[in-house]
Structure 1
Amino acid sequence: MAADIGNNQSVERALTILRLFTAAGRAELRVSDIAKLAELNLSTASRLLATLEASGVVDRDPVSGLYRLGLDMVSLGGAVLNAHPVHREARQIAQNLAAEVGLGVNVAVRRDASLFYLLNFEGRQAPRSFVLAGQRNPLHATGLGKSLLTGLDPAERRALLPSSWLTAYTPRTVTTHQQLDDEIDKTLARGYGTELEELALGRACVAAPIRDASGGVVAALSVSGPLSAIDLPHREDALARKVIETADSVSIGLGYVGPAHRLPMDTVTP
């Protein structure tokens, strides 16, 4: 029993160390930083890092001595994504949309009280120097998050997101449940949600929910980019139509057979 407890603690501590590389916001960390952040003594941190390095999940720079996540983590992440039904259904469709509209296309699921990016593709007008897959963002401050929250009723949303969690990231961020309820009601009525400089200044997005065979909201898809490229005043209706159609295509691939979402009326061709 004592051995089992010790093994469990070692596994938990190793996982804590791996999570530090995303939670700390730094790609490389010193062993002393890792020990401090994980609340471990230096010898324990060094021993665990040596084991993780031997397993290929962390690498150590031979010159600086800094640790980073190892390339074997890419193999693990790739296996997870390839086995995820939403990722399988959305990948090619999202890539095609990014090429067509020239903007970023993102697909995310809800993980507890945040959104989790499964994939993203950059269009020519919205380049990025980093990968979004695996990163998290707040639900209340993003178009993707609002779309994901359409699957919950107001009471469930309040239980998931206490008022203290509705942080203001910019002056435009929704910071009360009444505002959030209004935004989600609008998203449900139109079939799509928007975000205009709510998480970061100078950026916007249009998003729609993705449903599975049960009819439940299991993911969301968005088109995003800088204000100058996404140009919501002139492009919102056209982008909304594309986003809804693309999200519906993924939903159908997941077995959804419910009614199609209503498209913006002035974009429907008679």
Structure 2
Amino acid sequence: MSTEIHQSIQRAASVLDALGASETGQLRASDIGRTIGLGPSTTARLLTTLEELGYVRKEPDGQLYSIGTAIFALATHGLNQIPVHRESRAAAQELAQKVGLSVNVGVRDGISVMYLCHFEGAKASKSHTMVGLRQPLHASALGKCLLLDLSEDERIDLLGTELPRYTANTITDHGALTKELARSADRGTCIEDQELALGRLCIAAPIRNASGRVVAALSISGRMTVMRDSDLDSLSEEAIETADRISVGLGLISAIPA
């Protein structure tokens, strides 16, 4: 790939990143250019090309740009091609309706957990979707599940020696994280008790593939007041059973040695 083509792809991706990061979902061409560090003419050419391809949409006022429908179609195709998403979508939606809380399914993407599915029950309505968003592995229940198969040395290699703090409850020491994950493995679930955000409690269970490796996780979460009014033991059982159903769908048919 030539340097010019490579640069053009990087710039186009930067335009989409800028639009995706916008709080309103819309930006003027001048704001996009300023954000990605390009001049007006270069930005205009990029936006024209992306608009022609459907990746960017010009709003009716002719001044603002937003993400185009081609991105939505591409994201849908990508999700539908992921086995974990296909196997977990219906089960996660059913569980959210049953418990009335938020149910999420996530996979590891580098040093983060990325949401593949997000469903809301009657007690956990939101005005936005979590699909595609990322959270830190060490500070989230989903992320902790995705670390269960790794040794402490492997976790340090992956996450680095310093673990960022988000609240007073965040685990920031690898030794403490190792002990927490050992307890989680015995319990069958990982807990996030106001470690990423205050006022939130989350319970997650690992999802395994045919070979028994953890490839995803399923969580039940909600506001602290709502979760504490619930039967946490019962919610843990629901998470484990639903995660096991998804694991069976992925080909897991034998017991996993402790």
**Shorter-chain TM band:** over 0.9
For residues 52-109 of structure 1, what are the alpha-carbon distances to aligned partners after superposition, in whole Å with 9 as ceiling and x for unaligned? Answer: 1111111122327222111221111111111110010001111110111111100000
Distance 1:175 1:24 in 2: 31
Question: Shift of residue 31 of structure 1?
Answer: 2.1
Pick from 78, 81, 99 the counterpart of residue 79 of structure 2: 81
Question: Shift of residue 24 of structure 1?
Answer: 5.4
**Aligned: 1:17 with 2:45:** no
Aligned residue in 1 for 2:244: 248
Secondary structure at the residue paired with 2:171?
coil
**Aligned: 1:190 with 2:197:** no
Report matched runs for 1:72-151 at 5 Å: 72-151=70-149
Secondary structure at the residue paired with 2:207?
strand
Q: Which amino acid aligns with 1:206?
A: I
Question: Shift of residue 180 of structure 1?
Answer: 1.5
Distance 2:95 2:115 in 1: 17
Structure 1 stretches lacking a partner, 5+ long: 263-270
The answer on whether the counterparts of 1:143 and 1:205 sit within 8 Å (CA) in structure 2 is yes
Distance 2:5 2:241 in 1: 49
Question: Shift of residue 227 of structure 1?
Answer: 1.1
The answer on whether the counterparts of 1:193 and 1:208 sit within 8 Å (CA) in structure 2 is yes
**Aligned: 1:201 with 2:194:** no
The answer on whether the counterparts of 2:106 and 2:113 sit within 8 Å (CA) in structure 1 is yes
Secondary structure at the residue paired with 2:115?
strand
The answer on whether the counterparts of 1:248 and 1:260 sit within 8 Å (CA) in structure 2 is no
Pick from 44, 52, 55 the counterpart of residue 53 of structure 2: 55
Give the total of aligned pairs: 258
Q: Which amino acid aligns with 1:176?
A: D
Structure 2 stretches lacking a partner, 5+ long: none
The answer on whether the counterparts of 2:210 and 2:253 sit within 8 Å (CA) in structure 1 is yes
Aligned residue in 1 for 2:255: 259
Distance 1:132 1:248 in 2: 23
For residues 119-173 of structure 1, what are the alpha-carbon distances to aligned partners after superposition, in whole Å with 9 as ceiling and x for unaligned? Answer: 1100001111101111111111110000111121111111111134x22211111
Q: Which amino acid aligns with 1:186?
A: R
**TM-score, reference length from structure 1:** 0.89
The answer on whether the counterparts of 1:244 and 1:261 sit within 8 Å (CA) in structure 2 is no
Question: Shift of residue 25 of structure 1?
Answer: 5.2
Secondary structure at the residue paired with 2:27?
coil
